[in-house]
């Protein structure tokens, strides 16, 4: 009888522990809403910095050659999707995290060019 009560107590404690662990993981783990929000804000901040640096390089090339098309953006974390003598569109990210900026003078926006 004592063994049965001990076994039931042990199983009950294990079930409660697993439940509490699962609840805590959903609230504060890597899949929580707070973690997803922080990740989104970090990606947006990194994209903004990358776009600012790339835009400066694009403007420098335009000042020298009169076109944005010849700009090498290797190392800036962005891709030059389209460029001509008067405008450009740069893009960063993958999947649903893609952002773009149309310039000159544009601001980062969600989605591809």
Domain co-membership, 48 together with 102: yes
- Global model pTM greater than 0.95: no
Of 38 and 52, the one with more pLDDT: 52
Residues 11-20 have pLDDT tens digits of 556 566 666 6
Q: Would you say residue 62 lies in a domain? A: yes
Lowest mean pLDDT among 54-58, 82-86, 88-92, 93-97: 93-97
Residues 2-48 have pLDDT tens digits of 565 565 665 556 566 666 666 665 666 666 777 777 877 877 787 78
Residue ranges making up the domain that contains 13: 1-31
Q: How far apart are CA 102 and CA 86, in angstroms?
A: 11
pLDDT bin (cut points 50, 70, 90) of residue 90 is very high
Q: How far apart are CA 54 and CA 72, in angstroms?
A: 9
Q: Would you say residue 38 lies in a domain? A: no
Burial (CB < 10 A; 0-12, 13-18, 19+), residue 99, is buried
In the chain, the largest separation of any two C-alpha atoms, in whole Å, equals 90
How many domains is the chain partitioned into structurally? 2
Q: Would you say residue 36 lies in a domain? A: no
Q: How far apart are CA 49 and CA 76, in angstroms?
A: 9
Domain co-membership, 66 together with 102: yes
Q: How far apart are CA 51 and CA 76, in angstroms?
A: 8
* Closest to 53 measured CA to CA, from 82, 76, 36, 32: 76
């Amino acid at each position: 009888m004592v063994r049965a009560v001990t076994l039931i107590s042990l199983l009950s404690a294990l079930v409660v522990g697993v439940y509490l662990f699962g609840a805590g993981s959903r609230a504060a783990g890597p899949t929580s809403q707070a973690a997803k929000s922080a990740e989104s804000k970090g990606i947006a901040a990194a994209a903004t910095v990358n776009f600012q640096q790339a835009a400066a390089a694009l403007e420098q090339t335009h000042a020298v050659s009169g076109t944005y098309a010849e700009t090498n953006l290797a190392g800036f974390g962005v891709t030059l999707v389209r460029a001509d003598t008067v405008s450009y569109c740069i893009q960063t990210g993958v999947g649903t995290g893609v952002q773009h900026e149309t310039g000159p003078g544009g601001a980062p926006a969600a989605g591809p060019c």
